[in-house]
Structure 1
Amino acid sequence: MPFPSDFIWGAGSAAYQTEGAWNEDGKGESIWDEFCRRKGAIRNGDTGETACDAYRRYPEDIRLMKDMGLKAYRFSLSWPRILPEGRGKANEKGLAFYDALVDMLLENGIAPYVTLYHWDLPYALHTEGGWLSRKTAEAFSEFAYLVAKRFDGRVRDYITMNEPQCFIAQGYARGVHAPGLTLPDDQVALCMHNVLLAHGLAVDSLRSGSAAPLNIGIVSTGRVCCPAGDTPRAREAAKAAAFSFAQEDWYYTHHWVLDPAILGGYPENSPAVVGRLGRCVPARDFDIIRAKTDYIGLNVYHGCYVDDGGGYVPPYPGYPRTAFKWPITPEAIRFGSVWLYERYGLPVVVTENGLSCNDKIYLDGKVHDPDRIDFLQRYLNELKKACEEGVPVRGYFHWSLTDNFEWSSGYDERFGLVYVDYPTQRRIPKDSSFWYAEVVKSNGANIGA
């Protein structure tokens, strides 16, 4: 049985993880440029200074997308490549690069899905307070308006923010991602509030800057709880756990981001620091944050299981895991979609899902990745179940198109459908890319068992 006839099949990337050209053609510095220079910050001392060299090699990458039959490509804009200081005068060479990328995608029948913020804050804004400052939200609004005007009629699909939970937790609470801060929770909550304010302002700026109608979403990540048993009680327990704030990891909750963005306020069960903040900020903030959002982007790689009583069921010894040591839990993509739709009533797009493998070039010159194919079969079959349950799942974007710079893990983790030999930048389509092409061609009818 295929997916819905208008289902969107794609793959994704992010600017800092792929583009390289970190200081070329007028690009400004980002917080990741600065963070990667810190000794010990990134595994093996890796940086994104060259990455996949997509700044120069994007035509080859688009040819690979076309060979796979992809309908859409999700990529992010480097804010400091377009606005080196975060605001003010635009860098025409940076805009021209994205002009060429968008135009070539459209010429090849591939829809651009543009993410405005995938973690590479202009360093100039960071020195002025970064996400601790409301001024950053205002600057982001200016950036969004500039982008909408530039790509009006060519880009119809936008994402404001990628995974606020992750970049706030890892970059501002734990210090393991850029900008490497370990703030107290009240300041972490303030950072998130300003990110949400930026989202709302950007939605309005995108719509006012574009004459053509737009589809605008926000991408969320968080704990996905799956029922350990096939009973109504287990299902309700899992759903309740999914929308709770775990004491030890409260940052990774979907509703910390999505309740304000869609429902107009922080969750009733918020941690005390979030609740206090919600009572102190101007009430009008939530009117701004609750800008019209057309869909929810779900980034999902793994989940956990919950029993009838709401207790977590730990993985058994030897449970299958990815190279990233994440448990393989296919049901997470199904229940992640179901829980979000039941709570918010908006269509869902799976904006990231994929497997990190220890891929290598075999003696035959090919890259064989049967584990990735098996992973995708399992997850896509579960996603199909979500569709059958009535969830309006609009599309699926594999993470990622190519291997790339995987943040603090450097280049050790390979998620791509296409292998990148970093010393030469040679692209080698993996077996999974050919398998995925057949899935796209059949609209998911031939995923397999």
Structure 2
Amino acid sequence: MRRRSFLKTALKVTAAAAAGGGAMAALTREGVQAAPDSATRTVAFPEGFLWGVSTSSYQIEGAVAEDGRGPSVWDTYSHSFGRIANGDTGDIACDHYHRYAEDVELMARAGMKAYRFSIAWPRVMPQGTGAVNAKGLDFYDRLTDALLAKGIQPWPCLFHWDLPQALQDRGGWTNRDIAGWFTDYALAVTARLGDRARNWVMLNEPSVVAIFGHGTGGHAPGMTGRDTCLKAIHHQNLAQGTALAALRQVGGKNWQLGTVLSLQPSWPVGGLDSNYPASLMWDAVWNRSCLDPLFKGRFPALLEADFARIAKPGDLERIEQPVDFLGVNYYSRMHQQPDPQGLFGTGYGSAPEGTRKTGMDWPVEPDGLTEILAELQEMYGNPPVYVTENGADYPDTVGPDGRVNDRDRIGYLRDHLLAAAKAIDEGCNLKGYMAWTLLDNFEWSEGYRRKFGLVQVDRKTMERKPKASYDWYASVIRNNAVPLR
């Protein structure tokens, strides 16, 4: 079925499905609601399905000036007046740098078998290039060994937004030389940890880095403009491809190499034909600008002329590299309509009436995860996929027993896992799921006021307190199955 037909058909039933508070009413690609068998109490996942959790360095580590770490663009950005809610910074974050053993123990207690964490580039190379800071790599050495001792696979991500400020001063992602800088950094990190860490993620959400950090200015480094945004996308793609080729050569068959993209289906607001071109343009920017060069060796048609002004001969050949897996971060769909003031002439609009919302006012649309996994199956060769981020902010309330009973978060996770199970049943090559996130952390421009964690963190004492969702997720992992209620 053509994407446009699917979107217009599915819009008719999405609101009813999203408004439900129990098990998700599954939506097939033909737009038909298929109620789960009421006699079935759980939905099982395939044997060997990988369960884990994801975090990122700047959001949890803290210790920003310890053991030789240099400043990142997020240090600079968060210390700029008015950029972050409540004036928060990642200076201390969750103090994971000192408390990593406690956090690894929390993962082990829940039965998690994978931990996607990110390496802080400025901790390893304070200037972004040149000398490697041994003490910085020592931390990731300790973390890797602690994970393996508990039977947890380390999944290091080489870049999750905290670019060294020293490289930003040289143009950062707008300078195509960064492809070489990133590759040198990747080789240095894998040379130290690659004897134990087998699964390597190149980048986290390059389109988000480009759009919000280099297009709208709402994230570090705070740059704006359409051309700047497109340069940042292209040079991240180029850096990723260059590093993949280099690591493939030195790592051989010992490593599984991949990357992580934020993939959010783009729908026209209200299903209106007049909004459909805007939804296609935003889909090209957010999704296809990274997917198409990697898997098809071409730029999305709607942006081909723009990228042609930036790219050089041979760039697409460098970008189109084989990957052993694709990480998918999914939160909701993007509902788009024309906006002359928008970066690409588009803007966000309302989800269908009745759609549930998270604490950040994001739509709760689990069937969008099924949709994006189906697209990977049908349009991109059905690569091995891991959901590497999925979670929700809700205003947690501490009960009389001192515990957060976060039923809304449990409902969000359950419905998305049921959507993931549906995708597997339809032939999607989904291999694992990593919840976002372990700890309530520094949520970028939102500071600490947003709560995505399975574990509460006391901002004064740093004490960790597992929420009800932590125990629920541990039960899912233990049973390799999701309860319908």
TM-score by length of 2: 0.84
CA shift digits 1:199-237 (9 cap, x unpaired): 011112322343552111121114315799xxxxx9xx9
Residue 255 of structure 2: aligned partner: 214
Greater shift, 76-85 or 261-270, is seen at: 261-270
After superposition, the C-alpha distances for 1:47-87 in whole angstroms (9 at most, x for unaligned) are 00000000000000001000100010010000000000011
CA contact (8 A) 1:401 1:417 kept: yes
Cα deviation, residue 421, structure 1: 0.8
Deviation, 1:271, is: 6.0
Pairs aligned (count): 428
Within a 5 Å distance, the mapping from 1:366-445 to structure 2 comes to 366-444=403-481
Corresponding residue to 2:240 among 185, 188, 199: 199
Match of residue 216, structure 2, among 169, 174, 187: 174
| AA in 1 matched with 2:126 | P
RMSD: 2.3
* Distance of 2:85 and 2:133 partners within structure 1: 32
Whether 1:77 aligns to 2:128 is no
Could you tell me how far apart the structure 1 residues matched to 2:281 and 2:90 are?
A: 33
- Structure 1 residue 267: Cα displacement: 1.5
Counterparts of 1:267 and 1:316 in 2: how far apart (Å)? Answer: 28
Counterpart among 290, 300, 321 of residue 257 in structure 1: 290
The alpha-carbon distance between structure 1 residues 304 and 20, as it changes in their structure 2 partners (threshold 3 A), is closer
CA contact (8 A) 1:152 1:212 kept: no
Structure 1 position 26, deviation (Å): 0.2
Written as runs of structure 1 = structure 2, the 5 A alignment for 1:38-49 is 38-49=80-91
Give the secondary structure class of the aligned counterpart of 1:251.
helix
TM-score (norm 1): 0.91
What residue is the counterpart of 2:329 in the other structure?
299
User: How far apart are 1:243 and its partner, in Å?
Assistant: 8.6
- The aligned residue for residue 138 of structure 1 is 180
Change in Cα spacing, 1:393 to 1:241, as seen in structure 2 (3 Å) is farther
Please state how far the C-alpha of 1:251 moved relative to its aligned partner: 3.2
- Cα 1:217–1:18 change in 2 (3 A) is same
Residue 269 of structure 1: how far off its partner (Å): 2.8
- In the alignment, which residue of structure 1 is the partner of 2:93? 51
Tell me the distance in 1 between the aligned counterparts of 2:257 and 2:278.
Answer: 24
1:325 is matched with which residue? 361
Partners in 1 of 2:268 and 2:77 — Cα distance?
A: 39
Q: CA deviation at 1:187?
A: 2.8
Q: Unpaired runs of 5+ in structure 2? A: 1-42, 337-347
Give the percent of matched residue pairs that are identical in Structure 1 and Structure 2: 41
Deviation at 1:123, TM superposition (A): 0.5
Partner of 1:114, secondary structure, is strand
Stretches of structure 1 lacking an aligned partner (at least 5 in a row): 229-233, 307-311
| Aligned position for 2:192 | 150
The answer on whether the counterparts of 1:148 and 1:209 sit within 8 Å (CA) in structure 2 is no
Give deviations 1:348-404, integer Å, cap 9, x for gaps.
111100010111322211111001111111111111000000001011010001110
Question: CA–CA distance in 1 between the matches of 2:65 and 2:388?
Answer: 29
**Closer/same/farther in 2, CA of residues 331 and 226 from structure 1, 3 Å limit:** farther
Provide the secondary structure at the position in 2 that maps to 1:398: strand
Structure 1 contact 380–447 (Cα < 8 Å) conserved = no
Q: Which amino acid aligns with 1:193?
A: H
Question: Pick from 330, 339, 343: which aligns with 2:375?
Answer: 339
Distance change (3 Å), C-alpha of 1:377 and 1:211:
same
